A and B are shown apart, each in its own frame.
Chain A
Amino acid sequence: MSKVLKYTLMLLVIFFISETLFAQDEEDFEDEDGVEELTRQVNNFKPGLSRFLMRGYAHAGIEFLQDRTTFVGGSFNPIFLWQQSERLLFESELEIELTEEGTELGLDYADMSYFLNDYITVRLGKFLLPFGTFGERLHPRWINRLPSNPLGFSHDGQVGPISDIGVEVRGALNISHHAWMNYSLYVVNGPRLNSGEVEAEEGGQLHYVNYLDNNKSKTFGGRIGILPLHDNSLEIGFSGQYGKVGIADTKYEDVGSQLYAIDLSYVTRLDFMKSMLDVKGQWNSVRVDDISYPDPEDALQNYTFENISNAYYGQISSKPAFINNSFFNKLEFVGRYSKLELPSQAVWGGEDTQITIGINYWLDWRTVIKFAYQTLDSNGEDDGHSALAQGDAFLLHWSIGF
C-alpha cells in the first residue's frame, strides 16, 4: 500500500514540476518576444556616432550713461557643435547683434578639433586664440562676471588678439604629484598694421581682423598654463605671439610685432566666509617695430613714436553660495580695475583707467542679472580712447547660457 502511495506521490511531483517548467517556458517565450520588440524600438532611437548639439548664450540690458539712457544688447550667440566621432569635433559660434546700423552677423569661431591622443589635440579653422584667457574663456556674457569687458579686451580699442585663422596644437600634461600644465602652439595669419596711408590718424595701430593675410609671413604664438596646486584652483599662464604685420611690397613689409600676455585665475572655496572666491587678471602688451607713419597734422611729413600698448585688468568676485539663505546665497559681489595705455606720442595714444563694481543675482548656474557702476578716468578728456569707455555709467544686464 505504502509503495502505491509512494509511486503516486512521485508521479504527482513529476507532474507538477513539469507543469511549472512548461508554464515557465511559455512565459519565457512571451518575455523574449517582448524584449525583442523593446530592443527593436530602442534601436530605432539609438543615436549614431554623429551627434549635433546647439547651445549658446544671449544677453540684453539697459545702460544709464552720461548723455543717454539706452536699452542695449539683444545679442544672441548660437553655438553649434558637431561631434563626428570620438575623435573629431567641429565647433562654431555666430554672433547676432543689434548695432546702430542694424543687425550684424559675426562668425566668432568655426574650427575642427582632432583628438590625436590623450595629450594632443589639433585644431584647424577660425578659433579663439589662447592669448591670455579673457578672449578664449571668459568673454561669454553668462561667464563674464561684469556687464562690460575690461578696457582693451573688446573689439574696440583692442590690445591683443581674440581670434584668428590658422592651425593649433594643444593639450594638457600631468607634471608632478599634483600639478598640471596645459599648452598651446599656433600658426595664424596674425594682425595687420594700419600704415596710416588711408586713415592717417590710425597709423601704427594693429587690426586683428586679417582674414586674407596682407603678407606672406605667418604669425606664431602660444600659451603655457601652469596649475601648481593639488585642487587645480590656481592657474598662471604665459602667452607670446610674433609675426610681421606690414603689407607686402611696401616699406612696412618687414615691420614685426611682439605680443605678450600673463594671466591668472584663482577659484576657491572660502569656508570661513561660506563663499566662493574668484580672482582673475590679465596683462597684455603689444609692441610694433619702430617705423614712421604719415603725420595726420601735416600730410607731407612723417612722424614716428615708440609703438607699445598695454592693457590689463584685475578682478575679484565672491559669492556667499554656502550660507543658509536662499536670497543671499545667489548674490555675487564683483570689483574690477582695468587700464589701457596706448603710445603717448601717437595721435591715437593716451591712457584710460576704469573701475567697475557690481552686484549679480544668479537665478541658476548659467542665468544672471548683473548690476554695475563704472567710472572712467581718461586724463581729463571726456571720452575714453576705446569706443566703449564713456565716462561714469550704471549698467544693468541680464544674460543666459544655454
Chain B
Amino acid sequence: MKSKKYIINTLLGMFFATTLFIVGCSSTQDVALAKSGAQLWGENCVRCHNAPSPTAFSDIQWETIGQHMRIRANLTAQQTDKVVEFLKMAN
C-alpha cells in the first residue's frame, strides 16, 4: 500500500512538473533554439565523454550515431539534426 502511494505521488509530481515546463517553454523557445550545430556540439557532446572528432566517422555513420546519442543524451530532433549536419560538414 505504501509503495502505491509513492508511485502515485511520483507520477503526479512528474506529470505536474512536465506540464509546468511545457507551458513555460512555449513562449521562450526561440533563443535556445537559435544555437548553431557547432555550438551545440561544443556544449553538448562534452558532457559525458570528450568531444568526438568530426573526422572520426563518415556522413552515414554520423547519422546513426546521431540517433544513438539523441537517446543517450536526451536531445531533441532539432538539436540532433543540427549537430549531425555540423559533423557531416566538418568531417
* Distance from B84 Cβ to chain A, minimum over Cβ atoms (Å): 12
Chain A residues lying within 8 Å of B50, measured Cβ to Cβ, are 362, 365-366
Asked if B74 and A137 sit within 8 Å, CB to CB, the answer is no
Query: How many contacts A-B (CB < 8 Å)?
Result: 137
A124 within 8 Å of B (CB atoms): no
Interface check A83, CB cutoff 8 A: yes
Which of A63-71, A198-206, A239-247 interfaces with chain B? A239-247
Q: Known contacts A115-B77, A267-B46: does B3 contact A244 (CB below 8 Å)? A: yes
Residues of B within 8 A of A180 (CB): 32
B interface, over-half SS: helix
A 184-214 contacts with B by CB, 8 A: 184-185
- Which parts of B43-77 form the interface with A (CB within 8 Å)? 43-44, 46-53, 56, 60-61, 63-65, 67-68, 70-77
B63 touches A365 (CB 8 A): no
A121 CB–B CB distance under 8 Å: yes
With contacts A173-B22, A177-B28, A256-B2 taken as known, whether A91 is within 8 angstroms of B68 at the C-beta atoms is yes
In the bound complex, how far is the Cα of B53 from the Cα of A212, in angstroms? 41
**In the complex, A235→B78 CA distance in Å?**
20
- Chain A residues lying within 8 Å of B24, measured Cβ to Cβ, are 175-176
User: CB < 8 Å: which of B21, B44, B74 contacts A184?
Assistant: B74
Given contacts A89-B68, A401-B49, contact A171 B43 (CB under 8 A): no
A178 adjacent to chain B (CB < 8 Å): yes
Contact of B18 among A115, A179, A183, A276 (CB under 8 A): A183
Known: A91-B68, A143-B48. A289 touches B10 (CB 8 A): no
A232 interfacial by beta-carbon distance below 8 Å: yes
Determine if A136 is an interface residue (Cβ-Cβ < 8 Å).
yes
A 79-132 contacts with B by CB, 8 A: 81, 83, 89, 91, 113, 115, 117-119, 121, 123
Q: Is the CB of B76 within 8 A of A118?
A: yes
Q: 0/1 per residue, B20-40, Cβ < 8 Å to A?
A: 011011001101110000000
- CB-CB under 8 A from B10, the residues of chain A are 220-222, 240, 242
CB distance from A226 to the nearest CB of B (A): 9
Residue of B nearest to A222 (CB): B14
Complex Cα distance A231/B40, Å? 9
The yes or no answer to A60 lying at the interface (CB within 8 A) is no
Which secondary structure dominates chain A's binding surface? strand
Residue B7 lies at the interface, judged by CB distance under 8 Å to chain A? yes
Query: What's the Cα separation between A183 and B28 when bound, in Å?
Result: 19
- Quick check: A365 and B51 within 8 Å, CB to CB? yes
A137 adjacent to B28 (CB under 8 Å):
no
What are 21 A-B residue pairs whose CB atoms fall within 8 Å in the complex?
A53-B61, A89-B67, A91-B71, A115-B67, A117-B77, A123-B71, A133-B48, A138-B48, A143-B48, A170-B71, A172-B74, A173-B25, A178-B32, A179-B32, A220-B7, A224-B17, A235-B47, A242-B7, A256-B2, A365-B51, A401-B49
* Chain A residues within CB distance 8 Å of chain B: 47, 51, 53, 55, 81, 83, 89, 91, 113, 115, 117-119, 121, 123, 133, 136-138, 142-143, 170-185, 220-222, 224-225, 230-233, 235, 240, 242-244, 254, 256-258, 265, 267, 276, 289, 362, 364-366, 401
Known: A179-B32, A256-B3. 20 other contacts (CB 8 A): A53-B61, A81-B64, A81-B65, A83-B63, A89-B67, A91-B68, A91-B71, A143-B49, A170-B74, A173-B21, A173-B22, A174-B76, A176-B24, A221-B10, A242-B10, A256-B6, A257-B3, A258-B3, A289-B2, A365-B53
